[in-house]
Structure 1
Amino acid sequence: MSEITKIWNATLYLRLSREDGDKEESNSITGQRELLRDYLKAHPELREYAVRVDDGWSGSSFERPDFKRMMEDVKAGKTNCIIVKDLSRFGRNYLDAGEYIEKVFPFLGVRFIAINDNYDSLGDKKASDDLIIPFKNLINEAYCRDISVKIRSQLEIKRKSGQFIGAFAVFGYTKDPAQKNRLIVDDFAADIIRDIFKWKLEGVSPQDIANALNKLGVLSPLEYKKSIGVNLATPFQTGAKSVWSAVNVLRVLKNPVYTGVLTQGKSTTPSYKVHKRIAKQENEWAIIENSHEAIISRNDFDTVQKALALDTRRGPEESAVSLFSGMVFCGECGASMVRKTVPAGGKKYVYYICSAHKQDKSCSPHRIRDTELENIVLTAMQRYIHEVIDLDALLSMTDTAPLRTAEAQKVQRQLDMKRAELERLNKLLMSLYENLADNIITREEYARLKQNYSVRAEEAERQMNALQDSLTHIREKGGAEKSWMDEFKRHENLTSLDRSAVISLIDKIMIHKDKCVDIVYRWQDEFAWQLDILSRAEKEAV
Structure 2
Amino acid sequence: MDTYFPDRDIRFIAVNDNIDSDEGESEIAPFKNVLNEFYARDISKKCRSSYRIRGSTGEPLAPPPYGYIKSPDNPKKWVIDPEAAQVVRDIFKMALEGKSNETIARILQERKVLIPMAYWQEKGIRKGGKVTQPNKYKWCKTTITKILTQQEYCGDIINFKTYSKSYKNKKRYDNPKENWVIFKDVHEPIINRDDFELLQTLVVKTKRRAPKKENGEKNMFCDFLYCADCGSKLWYHTNTTNKEIHFFSCSNYKKDTRGNCESRHYIRADAIEQVVMLELRRLAKYLESHEEEFAKLLAEKTNADMLAEQKNLETELNRATARNEMITSLFAKTYEDNVSGKLSDEMYMELSHKYEVERLELKTKIFEYKERLAKISEMEQNKDDFLKAVRKFMEMETLTAPMLRELIDHIDVYEKEGGKKNYTQRIVIYYRFVGYLELPSSENENYKANTRKGVDVEYIPKAKSA
Task: Return the TM-score normalized by structure 1.
Answer: 0.61
Q: Report 1:247-396 matches (<5 A).
A: 247-308=142-203, 309-310=205-206, 311-335=208-232, 336-341=234-239, 343=241, 348-354=244-250, 356=253, 359=256, 363-364=262-263, 367-384=266-283
The question of 1:493 aligning with 2:395 is answered yes
Deviations 1:283-318 (A, max 9, x none): 333333333332212332233234333234222412
Q: Is the 8 A contact 2:6 2:170 kept in 1?
A: no
Q: Secondary structure at the match of 1:223?
A: helix
d(CA) in 2 for partners of 1:468, 1:205? 33
Cα 1:233–1:379, aligned 2, differ >3 Å: closer, same or farther? Answer: same
Q: Is the 8 A contact 2:222 2:235 kept in 1?
A: no
In structure 1, the partner of 2:452 is: none
Deviations 1:240-290 (A, max 9, x none): 646422222222112222123322323233333333333333333333333
Deviations 1:104-157 (A, max 9, x none): x538x9xxxxxxxxxxx9xxxxxxx866x8777766654443332222112112
In structure 1, the partner of 2:19 is: 102
Cα 1:430–1:411, aligned 2, differ >3 Å: closer, same or farther? Answer: same
In structure 2, the partner of 1:519 is: 429
Q: Secondary structure at the match of 2:139?
A: coil
Q: Is the 8 A contact 1:194 1:296 kept in 2?
A: yes
**For the pair shown, which has the larger CA radius of gyration, 1 or 2?**
1
In structure 1, the partner of 2:443 is: none
Q: Which amino acid aligns with 2:275?
A: I
Q: Which runs of 5+ in 2 are unaligned?
A: 417-423, 439-466
Q: Which amino acid aligns with 1:524?
A: V
d(CA) in 1 for partners of 2:49, 2:357? 35
d(CA) in 1 for partners of 2:290, 2:192? 23
Deviations 1:15-34 (A, max 9, x none): 999999xxxxxxxxxxxxxx
How many Å apart are 1:201 and its aligned residue? 1.5
Deviations 1:21-60 (A, max 9, x none): xxxxxxxxxxxxxxxxxxxxxxxxxxxxxxxxxxx5634x
In structure 2, the partner of 1:47 is: none
d(CA) in 2 for partners of 1:333, 1:460? 29
Q: Is the 8 A contact 1:159 1:165 kept in 2?
A: yes
In structure 1, the partner of 2:461 is: none
How many Å apart are 1:430 and its aligned residue? 5.7
Cα 1:261–1:211, aligned 2, differ >3 Å: closer, same or farther? Answer: same
Cα 1:145–1:242, aligned 2, differ >3 Å: closer, same or farther? Answer: farther
Highest relative contact order (Cα 8 Å, sep 6+), 1 or 2? 2
Aligned residues: 413
Q: Is the 8 A contact 1:204 1:319 kept in 2?
A: no
Q: Is the 8 A contact 2:5 2:168 kept in 1?
A: no
d(CA) in 2 for partners of 1:368, 1:465? 38
d(CA) in 2 for partners of 1:18, 1:276? 9
How many Å apart are 1:158 and its aligned residue? 1.9
Q: Report 1:101-500 matches (<5 A).
A: 101-103=18-20, 106=22, 142-166=38-62, 168-235=63-130, 238-239=133-134, 241=136, 243-308=138-203, 309-310=205-206, 311-335=208-232, 336-341=234-239, 343=241, 348-354=244-250, 356=253, 359=256, 363-364=262-263, 367-384=266-283, 428=326, 432=330, 437=336, 459=365, 462-470=368-376, 473=378, 482-483=384-385, 485-500=387-402
d(CA) in 2 for partners of 1:158, 1:386? 54
How many Å apart are 1:426 and its aligned residue? 6.4
d(CA) in 1 for partners of 2:108, 2:179? 36
How many Å apart are 1:198 and its aligned residue? 0.7
Cα 1:392–1:289, aligned 2, differ >3 Å: closer, same or farther? Answer: farther
Q: Is the 8 A contact 2:101 2:145 kept in 1?
A: yes
Q: CA RMSD in A?
A: 4.8
Q: Secondary structure at the match of 2:109?
A: helix
Cα 1:241–1:306, aligned 2, differ >3 Å: closer, same or farther? Answer: same
d(CA) in 1 for partners of 2:430, 2:109? 38
Q: Is the 8 A contact 2:211 2:236 kept in 1?
A: no
Cα 1:239–1:350, aligned 2, differ >3 Å: closer, same or farther? Answer: closer
In structure 2, the partner of 1:58 is: 11
d(CA) in 1 for partners of 2:390, 2:309? 28
Q: Secondary structure at the match of 2:248?
A: strand
d(CA) in 2 for partners of 1:497, 1:145? 62
Q: Is the 8 A contact 2:80 2:188 kept in 1?
A: yes
Task: Return the TM-score normalized by structure 2.
Answer: 0.69
Deviations 1:393-451 (A, max 9, x none): 779899x9xx99x9999999999988887776666556546766589xx8689959968
In structure 1, the partner of 2:462 is: none
Q: Which amino acid aligns with 1:181?
A: K
Question: Structure 1 stretch 428-437 or stretch 269-278: which is displaced more?
Answer: 428-437
Q: Is the 8 A contact 2:320 2:365 kept in 1?
A: no
Deviations 1:452-472 (A, max 9, x none): 99577875665445334435x
Q: Secondary structure at the match of 2:75?
A: strand
Q: Is the 8 A contact 2:429 2:436 kept in 1?
A: no
Deviations 1:204-248 (A, max 9, x none): 222222222223222221122222221234138542646422222
Cα 1:16–1:195, aligned 2, differ >3 Å: closer, same or farther? Answer: same
Deviations 1:359-400 (A, max 9, x none): 2796456644332221111121233356678898779899x9
Q: Is the 8 A contact 1:425 1:457 kept in 2?
A: no
Question: Structure 1 stretch 447-456 or stretch 518-527: which is displaced more?
Answer: 447-456
Cα 1:459–1:327, aligned 2, differ >3 Å: closer, same or farther? Answer: closer
Q: Which amino acid aligns with 1:518?
A: V
Deviations 1:38-90 (A, max 9, x none): xxxxxxxxxxxxxxxxxx5634xxxxxxxxxxxxxxxxxxxxxxxxxxxx1xx
Cα 1:244–1:383, aligned 2, differ >3 Å: closer, same or farther? Answer: same
Q: Secondary structure at the match of 2:244?
A: strand
d(CA) in 2 for partners of 1:434, 1:270? 26
Q: Which runs of 5+ in 1 are unaligned?
A: 1-12, 21-55, 60-87, 110-120, 122-128, 529-542
d(CA) in 1 for partners of 2:94, 2:366? 41
Q: Secondary structure at the match of 2:53?
A: helix
